[in-house]
Structure 1
Amino acid sequence: MKAFSLDGHRALVTGSSQGIGLAIGLGLQEAGATVVHHGLQERPADLSPAAGYVQADLLDPEGPQLLMDAAGDVDILVCNAGSFFDLPVLEMTRQLWDRTFQLNVTATFFLAQAFARQCAARGVPGSIVITSSTNGFQAEADSCAYDSSKGALVMLTRSLAVSLAPLGIRVNGIAPGLIRTPLTSTWMEPRAQDLLRHYEKKILLGEVGTPEDCAGAVIYLTSPAGRYLTGEIITIDGGLTVSQIGKM
């Protein structure tokens, strides 16, 4: 058995035009899978010609089904699309709260549902990986909607694992910590002298992670090497959430 080979598999990775999703898609492709990327904007110019790409808005109630239809017959689904819309607690609006849950949680559920229906109709097993966050376990100031949505994804992963096991569909998750992406760099880089140094001391491995650090876990979870795992969440944070104090 080629434990980490994804030869013969076809994967859809949502939110994969950049950052963590792009790295996951490239990793799955390197492992042998045919990969369909997804984003809100037009196809990135630097995406491999061998990769598929679907532009779709997951805030549209019909978006998850339309995306699944466009992706074709996939047996791996990585629900990575999500974002942060919070304002300080006293300024947060109902619109932004609903937007957070619509994208981060609701779209994820209905993508998983569409995927499971497709697999069941074809009579094939499948694998789903959901991107949560360490924010699903540990709270952050002025991040109530985002933290709550990521916590919901932790339980959604487990609940789907229970419900979809009879169909031969495994459901697992990853919980990245602080990863250097276009989203995090906007607030991290301007404060490299204080905030970034603080995190580097808190992270046991001494550095902020990269998107590529998340790809290996997804390959493991979706490959034959992870065939006996379902309902699990792999935390990818360099030890950020392990130590209470960190380095002095």
Structure 2
Amino acid sequence: MMKAFSLEGRAALVTGSSQGIGLAMAEGLHEAGARVVCHGLTERPADFPEWARYVACDLCAPDAPAALVHCAFEAEPHLDTLICNAGGFFDVPFLEMTRERWDRTVQLNMASVYFTAQAFARRLVAEQRAGSIVITSSTNGFQAESDSSAYDASKGALVMLTKSLAVSLADHGIRVNGVAPGLIRTPLTASLEHAGNSSVVDHYEKKILLKRLGTPEDVAGAAVFLCSRAAGYITGETIIIDGGLTTGQIGRR
């Protein structure tokens, strides 16, 4: 019997996985049986899980995506799974936005994803091996948010990039899908509560149909599924993981 949800024998690279959602996805892949190479902007944290390989680099550098993929294959020659999760938020109000902030957003949130996926796919195609790519977008890729114009644009681009790469790589046996998290409990949302802005969290919890902010593990489950054989007939799709935040116009009363 096929273990459809198992990742035993698989090897994965997860970008932006030193903490938060990325780390949860890496842990989920590991729990499902995969060997995992993690990535972060800074050197390996002292308390990082022992089971993970780790590569540090700044993906904003033009040659960094290819270098990261090369290092990942050095660590795991049979790498067949990629999660492009690295990203950042650098916005200010639109009328105050600078070219430097825009370029930084585009370089990290869009260009690094594109060229990391390209370097990964080139290696698999050269070796005639199938694989899976998952791209982390956001609900901001579907609905705009105040003072987030560059971030919104970059995440919307990733939704379409997921579809475009699925078309480009289908003949090579490489599936490409995405996850679009909504409000997830991370250091960013925790800072809202710690700063005395719990009313903001309360507002969103009334809007969210499942009555709570998400956890990184909520995103990890969907990502692991998309990487598994259970999702073998799915490509070009982005799963929105937001507890129903974007489903209803008004939310709960």
Task: Note if 1:202 corresponds to 2:207.
Answer: yes
Tell me by how many angstroms 1:4 deviates. 0.6
Amino acid at match of 2:139: T
Quick check: 1:189–1:196 contact (8 Å CA) kept in 2? Answer: no
Q: d(CA) in 2 for partners of 1:221 and 1:192?
A: 35
Which residue does the alignment assign to 1:36?
Answer: 37
Amino acid at match of 1:164: L
Tell me by how many angstroms 1:90 deviates. 1.3
Matches within 5 A, 1:182-201: 182-201=187-206
Matches within 5 A, 1:83-98: 83-98=88-103
Q: List runs of 5+ in structure 1 lacking aligned partners.
A: none
Quick check: 1:9–1:76 contact (8 Å CA) kept in 2? Answer: yes
Amino acid at match of 2:14: V
Aligned with 1:17: secondary structure? coil
Quick check: 2:192–2:200 contact (8 Å CA) kept in 1? Answer: no
Task: Note if 1:65 corresponds to 2:70.
Answer: no
Task: Note if 1:129 corresponds to 2:142.
Answer: no
Tell me by how many angstroms 1:188 deviates. 4.8
Which residue does the alignment assign to 1:240?
Answer: 245
Task: Note if 1:6 corresponds to 2:7.
Answer: yes
Quick check: 2:86–2:108 contact (8 Å CA) kept in 1? Answer: yes
Aligned partner (choices 143, 146, 168) of residue 141 of structure 1: 146
Runs of 4+ in structure 1 deviating by more than 3 angstroms, as ranges, are none
Give a deviation string over 1:63-93, Cα, whole Å, max 9, x none. Answer: 0000000001310000000000001111110
Once structures 1 and 2 are overlaid, which stretch shifts more, 200-209 or 177-186?
177-186
Give a deviation string over 1:15-68, Cα, whole Å, max 9, x none. Answer: 000000000000000000000000001112222212100001100000000000
Q: d(CA) in 2 for partners of 1:33 and 1:64?
A: 22
Q: d(CA) in 2 for partners of 1:139 and 1:5?
A: 36
Aligned with 2:239: secondary structure? strand
Quick check: 2:192–2:201 contact (8 Å CA) kept in 1? Answer: no
Aligned partner (choices 218, 221, 232) of residue 226 of structure 2: 221
Aligned length: 248
Amino acid at match of 1:168: G
Q: d(CA) in 2 for partners of 1:113 and 1:93?
A: 29
Q: d(CA) in 2 for partners of 1:176 and 1:158?
A: 17
Q: d(CA) in 2 for partners of 1:63 and 1:119?
A: 19
Give a deviation string over 1:96-141, Cα, whole Å, max 9, x none. Answer: 0010010000000000100000101111101000000000000001
Aligned with 1:242: secondary structure? coil
Q: List runs of 5+ in structure 2 lacking aligned partners.
A: none
Q: d(CA) in 2 for partners of 1:102 and 1:20?
A: 20
Which residue does the alignment assign to 1:211?
Answer: 216
Tell me by how many angstroms 1:187 deviates. 3.4
Tell me by how many angstroms 1:191 deviates. 4.0
* TM-score normalised by length of structure 2: 0.96
Aligned partner (choices 156, 162, 169) of residue 157 of structure 1: 162
Aligned with 2:46: secondary structure? coil
Give a deviation string over 1:165-184, Cα, whole Å, max 9, x none. Answer: 01100000000000011233
Aligned with 2:198: secondary structure? coil
